A = this chain, B = another copy of it.
Amino acid sequence: MKVLNARVEALLTTENPENFVTSRVPQIDLMYEGIPGDRHFGYTKLSNGRERMYPRGTEIRNRRQVSILSQEECDEAARRLGIKTIKPEWLGANMVISGFPSLSQLPSGSRILFPSGASLYCEGENFPCIYPGQIIQSYYEDIPKLPQRFVKEAYGLRGIVCSVEREGEIRPDSTIDIYVNLEWQGRNWVEGGTGCEVQ
């Protein structure tokens, strides 16, 4: 694994689990179920269109406990949409980091370690859906079709989702260690075969 650093700029949780939008908090105590009180808290969740191998609404293990945005990617998405800013609150993010401009490409299986020892496990890229775009639209009423454009323009810039690998306290203004999982490096799945091979 390769280790890189980044900085926690903000932590956020949903004040009301019914509501997608998050609010800034000074500290989070990560549990194996996720962020206490947050919309995505739980060992399990109900499957949706992101897990198409299951009938919609199937109870499965929850891998989307914590969502993380890169400040640099957020700025780039705002630039592409021609708006001044996209607030992480509007996207329902739980964390914003800086100094890691390709967060959305971080491979599954990478780890993010905090000064307390708490740790998140990267479960893969997040993908834009239409709800955050509707919230962005409400702040920029003069700009047309932001919900639809957000889904397209924010693709590859929407950050990652994580599960908790080790419990503990996390705070803003701290430095994190990102252990990049390179297991797939140099591998290539062989289409049409019955397995894959290392090239």
Which A residues are closer than 8 A to B by beta carbons? 1-2, 4, 32, 43-44, 53-54, 58-61, 99-103, 105-109, 111, 113, 117, 119, 121, 123-125, 156, 163-167, 177, 179-185, 187-189, 191, 193-198
* Copies of chain A in the complex: 2
Complex: A166 Cα to B51 Cα, angstroms: 12
**Chain B, Cβ-Cβ closest to A103:** B195
Complex: A93 Cα to B195 Cα, angstroms: 20
Known pairs A107-B189, A109-B124. 14 more at Cβ < 8 A? Answer: A1-B53, A54-B166, A60-B165, A61-B165, A61-B166, A103-B195, A105-B195, A124-B183, A180-B189, A180-B196, A182-B189, A184-B184, A184-B187, A185-B188
Quick one: given A53-B111, A106-B196, A183-B108, are A166 and B119 in contact (CB under 8 Å)? no
* Residue from B32, B58, B164, B194 in contact with A102 in the complex, judged by beta carbons closer than 8 Å: B194
Quick one: given A43-B32, A53-B179, A183-B108, are A197 and B102 in contact (CB under 8 Å)? yes
> What are the 3 closest A-B residue pairs judged by CB atoms, nearest first?
A102-B195, A184-B184, A105-B196
Complex: A130 Cα to B81 Cα, angstroms: 56
Q: Is the CB of B53 within 8 A of A99?
A: no
Q: Is the CB of A60 within 8 A of B197?
A: no
Q: Is the CB of B100 within 8 A of A194?
A: yes
Contacts of A101 in B (CB 8 A): 194-195
